[in-house]
Amino acid sequence: MKTQFKIEEQKHKADLCIIGGGLSGTIAALTAARKGAKVVLIQDRPVLGGNCSSEIRMWVRGAKGKYDRETGVLAEFEEEHIYRNPTLAPTLWDSVLFGKVKAEKNITLLLNCSCMEAEATDTRITAIRAWQLTTYTRHTVEASYFADCSGDGILAFLTPAKARHGREDKAETGETIAKERSDACTMGMSLLVQARETDAPVPFTPPEWAYVYETDADFAVLPGADVKYSTFRDHKIGTSGCNLWWIELGGDRDSLHDAEEMRDELLKIAFGIWDHIKNRGDHGFANWELEWVGFLPGKRESTRFEGAHMLTQQEIEAGGCFADVIAYGGWPMDDHNPKGFYANTATDTPSILHPAPSPYGIPYGVLYSKNIENLFFAGRNISATHAAMSSTRVMGTCSLLGQALGNAAAICVREGILPRDVATSFIDELQQAQLDDGIFLPGVPRRIPALTKKAKTNLTAEQAALLFNGIERPRSDEEQNMLVLPMGAKVEFTLERPEEIQALRLLFDRDYSRQSITPNRKMQIFTQKLNVGRDFVPAKVPATLVKAFRVWLDGRLFYETDNNYYSLIKLPIHTAARTATVEFLETWGAEDVHLFACDIR
């Protein structure tokens, strides 16, 4: 029998310690680890993904442009998700992220683990301490670099890192959509529900503590509002319907310290709204069943760090033409009312959409601290004004920022330099790393490897100019930037003499129209489901992706697959050869092969 008890202690040493396992933190960890950095990833929830995890179920959203969809590791996640989970079960999405992280030998993953303390001077963090609830273990992590991807900015509370909370005034920022006076208000947090259409009526009895909304006027028709404002309280759920995002509170309170109280209030509202949809008025949802209610609200805004650069409304509206561009946005400046559900007049609406160009560039300077020399951050807590972060906060954009953080940290680890040194000496390398990882950067083409330019190909001059132009996605319906080849075609590289070929890089068409993936309008933006009607159609691997291909070196078969479902392929070769040939055998349905990149290095 055990009669003596003690708290376990574990110590870790890493190159990079990342706090927060949402999309930005998870992608940062994978990116840095794949480039050789030893990473500890600390996540205070049992699953990865943050707001898009099965615990919250907010849809991933990003740039609005038809051809501006976010790629990189986020695309890798989605492609795995579609292949493994065509019915889009939320918990299987969790497993995709978990599996990717656990497969990476350079990552130590600590789930259910909360950062509690930090050791820091005025200019540098040396260690953090975290508590893992499930194992009653204290973890101490010493690292050369730290990254706060927590969303709430925990290291702003535990270190001297400069940060801010609330809305700036016009006098400080010069922003036209800023407030006349600064305040401590933020955007609120939303609590989602998930329902499913069945083939028979399903009764619903609300808990006695739920609020009662007898008519739409109790929450949907804003007094004195134009008709257009009532759409902000749309409750026509369905496969491509509203996700009830407007069940939102907390922006006029403290989005951190009042979070538990706000959760309780949101639950009363959420059950009351579902009771209204089911039982009060003819909404046509008799056959719908409430399958899931979130108990963890998804936050939009809390603490923001101050970095080397602070992104503003004016810079977004001007297109973000930065020399150190490392990511892009394209969601409107979607400024949610701090009052959330209780905003109730025509001039006090739940959200105001201020236009933003798509895409606009985001600079590297928003990702590292102005006063803590080894601190990165990515996600909704980057260095941006309240107005600017109302656009950058969406998860597609945060994913690109996380990948930039991971690539920058890997450079720092390799060179033994500080984040600010990347800005002065390695920004070109960082941009090319982003591009090589399949991410688009406005105004920055990918450099074609020297070995590819050195080799002769079997392509015509026109084909080669298209394939090697460094722009690896369509930019308009007319400017597709892809080489279209017949099935069975080959791309051949011939060198004057055998040389070491390190890798082959391929980029296939992931169907930017999304038409071959799903007919469901909402899921064409990103393949996640929430409310599901009987019209739901399982997702399919994009028809335009190449499914089967072979690689030959000097006439000998080096690699083949008949079940590829990824758009970006980086195939290690590490073999000396004079010729390299890629043969494209089959797609997932398209008649032709669509190539954005095919090169050797």
- CATH number, domain with residue 477: 2.60.120.260
Residue 94 covered by a domain: yes
Distance of CA 249 to the CA centre of its chain: 23
- DSSP label at 311? B
The answer to whether residue 386 scores a pLDDT higher than 70 is yes
Q: Under 8 Å CB-to-CB from 525, ≥6 apart: which residues?
A: 59, 60, 61, 514
The answer to whether residue 127 scores a pLDDT higher than 60 is yes
Residue 347: the pLDDT is 67
Pair 249, 316 in one domain? no
The pLDDT confidence band at residue 221, using thresholds 50, 70 and 90, is low
Residue 516 covered by a domain: no
Residue 236: the pLDDT is 86
Work out whether strand 556-561 and strand 107-110 pair parallel, antiparallel, or are unpaired: unpaired
Pair 314, 393 in one domain? yes
Pair 100, 249 in one domain? no
Number of domains in the chain: 3
Residue 177 covered by a domain: no
Residue 59 covered by a domain: yes
Pair 20, 162 in one domain? yes
Pair 65, 156 in one domain? yes
Residue 441 covered by a domain: no
The answer to whether residue 159 scores a pLDDT higher than 50 is yes
Q: Under 8 Å CB-to-CB from 63, ≥6 apart: which residues?
A: 69, 70, 328, 329, 330, 331, 358, 359, 396, 397
Pair 15, 147 in one domain? yes
The pLDDT confidence band at residue 231, using thresholds 50, 70 and 90, is very low
Residue 348 covered by a domain: no
CATH number of the domain to which 430 belongs: 3.50.50.60
The answer to whether residue 501 scores a pLDDT higher than 80 is yes
Does an H or E element contain 115, and which? strand 113-120
Residues in the chain: 601
Mean pLDDT of 536-554: 98
Mean pLDDT of 435-454: 98
The answer to whether residue 282 scores a pLDDT higher than 90 is no
Pair 407, 368 in one domain? yes
Question: What is the domain extent for residue 201?
Answer: 189-299
Residue 517 covered by a domain: no
Q: How far is CA 466 from CA 138, 335, 495, 500, 596, in A?
A: 55, 40, 21, 26, 9
Its pTM surpasses 0.85: yes
The pLDDT confidence band at residue 234, using thresholds 50, 70 and 90, is confident
Residue 42: the pLDDT is 99
β-partners of residue 265 are none
Pair 388, 467 in one domain? no
Mean pLDDT of 253-266: 96
Pair 164, 24 in one domain? yes
The answer to whether residue 122 scores a pLDDT higher than 90 is yes
Average pLDDT, the chain: 96
Q: Which residue has the tokens 């409107």?
A: 332
What's the rounded Cα separation, in Å, for the pair 22 and 27? Answer: 8
Complete edge-to-edge strand list for the sheet that includes strand 248-249: 248-249, 189-190, 298-299
Asked if residue 563 lies in contact with residue 525, where contact means CB atoms within 8 angstroms, the answer is: no
Residue 241: the pLDDT is 86
The answer to whether residue 24 scores a pLDDT higher than 90 is yes
For the stretch 68-109, pLDDT in tens is 999 999 999 999 999 999 999 999 999 999 999 999 999 999
Residue 230: the pLDDT is 44
Residue 95: the pLDDT is 99
Mean pLDDT of 223-235: 57
Q: Under 8 Å CB-to-CB from 460, ≥6 apart: which residues?
A: none
Residue 227: the pLDDT is 44
Pair 157, 42 in one domain? yes
Alpha helices per DSSP H over 308-425 = 313-317, 386-392, 395-415, 419-425
For the stretch 476-489, pLDDT in tens is 999 999 999 999 99
Pair 32, 146 in one domain? yes
Mean pLDDT of 467-476: 97
Q: What angle do CA 399, 380, 167 make, to 5 degrees?
A: 155
Pair 139, 213 in one domain? no
